Chain A
Amino acid sequence: MARRKSGGPGATEIDMTPMIDMTFQLITFFMFVMNFSEAEQDDRIQLPSSQLAKPTEGVIEKPITLQLTNGGAVIYAGELVPVRDIGGYLEREKSVMLDSGREPNSATVIVRADGRAKAGEVQDIIRICQEKGFERFALRAQYDEKR
């Protein structure tokens, strides 16, 4: 109690203003930098880099994202699926689209394939998508101004 009393009228007041200013600036910075986009990104995928892979203007409406890992499995909606089995999932996706009055050829399939994955597996994915009526593809790459 004696200690608290001594901190009373004689206590030195710390000027909090610069600290609060700084903190608010930090919050503003983090708010701007934060990515609220719903883009599905997975750390297991190491995208190949390209200097022409400039970020697309506008938002791709309701895309279907298929991520191909180095091991040849597809990450679809957070689940690991073998390439040959994605047909069933795409069929479901197609029927949902048809129910909402959209044609599968209007949807974009985003292919996020690992740079070390086999090109043939990417082509297999594209072929399966084509068989289900999808024909717009976006091959995703990491933007790198040197390569």
Chain B
Amino acid sequence: MARRESQLSEKIEINMTPMIDVVFQLMSFFMCSLKVVAPEGDFDIRMPIAAAAAAAPDDQQVPPVRVKLSAGPDGGLAGIAMNGTPVADFDDLRKRIIGLVGADSGPNSLAEKTEVELDCDYALKYANVVRAITAVSGRVNNGQVVELIRKIKFTPPKKG
């Protein structure tokens, strides 16, 4: 007991001030440099220049699905057509794509072989192109992404 009492009386007090100063400075640094960033993702497109002048089609090749996106006077979406047939909206486009290639997107499936060629008007707002790519490249089923068509290309741009 005597020993503990003597220990208590000789207790060294740590000076916390410098530590708290540093800690607050660290906190201010992290708070100021914090940048809230929305999650971003990519649509990967492999488009070599030779693809535009495609070689002679072989038996394995499936003819590309041509999706035409027309622009209105303000750059908004005026119409969608798939292989020349008008489509109501992007959900309808997705349904038609599923109807064409089937729901299976595994290896050697029709969906894997099929290519979508996007023909967009020059003045069309890019957000519509992303919506079209979203519609043809997959769907979300119970939180799971079900892939559809992976090969997407653009027709050469036409100014006018």
Show the binding face of A for B, using Cβ within 8 Å.
16, 19-20, 23-24, 26-27, 30-31, 33-35, 39, 41, 47-56, 68, 105, 108, 110, 113-124, 126-127, 130-131, 135-143, 145, 147
Q: Is the interface of B mostly helix, strand, loop or mixed?
A: mixed
Alpha-carbon gap, A120 to B33, bound state (A): 36
B2 within 8 A of A: no
Partner of A130, one of B41, B49, B120, B134: B49
List which B103-138 residues lie within 8 A (CB) of chain A: 120-131, 133-134, 137-138
Which A residues touch B137, using CB under 8 A?
52
A122 partner, pick from B27, B46, B126, beta carbons under 8 A: B126
The 5 A-B pairs with the shortest beta carbon distances in the complex, nearest first, are A120-B122, A53-B41, A30-B30, A115-B127, A123-B157
Q: A124–B159 Cα gap in the complex (Å)?
A: 10
Instruction: Give the Cβ gap from B51 to chain A, nearest Cβ, in Å.
Output: 8
Q: What is the minimal beta-carbon distance from A15 to any residue of chain B, in angstroms?
A: 11
In this complex, how many residues of chain B approach chain A with their Cβ under 8 Å: the count is 51
| Contact yes or no, B156 A123, CB < 8 A | yes
The yes or no answer to B3 lying at the interface (CB within 8 A) is no
Q: Is B4 an interface residue (CB 8 A)?
A: no
Contact partner of A55 (CB less than 8 A), chosen from B39, B47, B133, is B39
Would A118 and B23 be within 8 Å (CB), given that A123-B157, A137-B44 are in contact?
no
B126 lies within 8 A of A126 (CB): no
**Shortest Cβ distance from B37 into chain A, in angstroms?**
6
- Shortest Cβ gap from A107 to chain B (Å): 12
Which of A26, A114, A117, A118 has the most chain B CB within a 10 Å cutoff?
A118
Q: Which of B19, B40, B121 has the most CB of A within 10 A?
A: B40
Tell me, yes or no, whether B11 is within 8 Å of chain A by CB: no
Contacts of B33 in A (CB 8 A): 34
Contact B145 A120, beta carbon cutoff 8 Å: no
Q: In the complex, which of the residues B16, B125, B133 contacts A118, with contact meaning CB atoms closer than 8 Å?
A: B125
List the B residue with the shortest CB-CB distance to A54.
B41
Residue of A nearest to B123 (CB): A118
Q: Is the CB of B43 within 8 A of A141?
A: yes
Contact B126 A115 (CB under 8 A): yes
Closest CB-CB distance, A146 to chain B, in whole Å? 10
Chain B residues within an 8 Å CB radius of A120: 120-124, 157-159
Chain A residues near B39 (CB-CB < 8 A): 55, 142-143
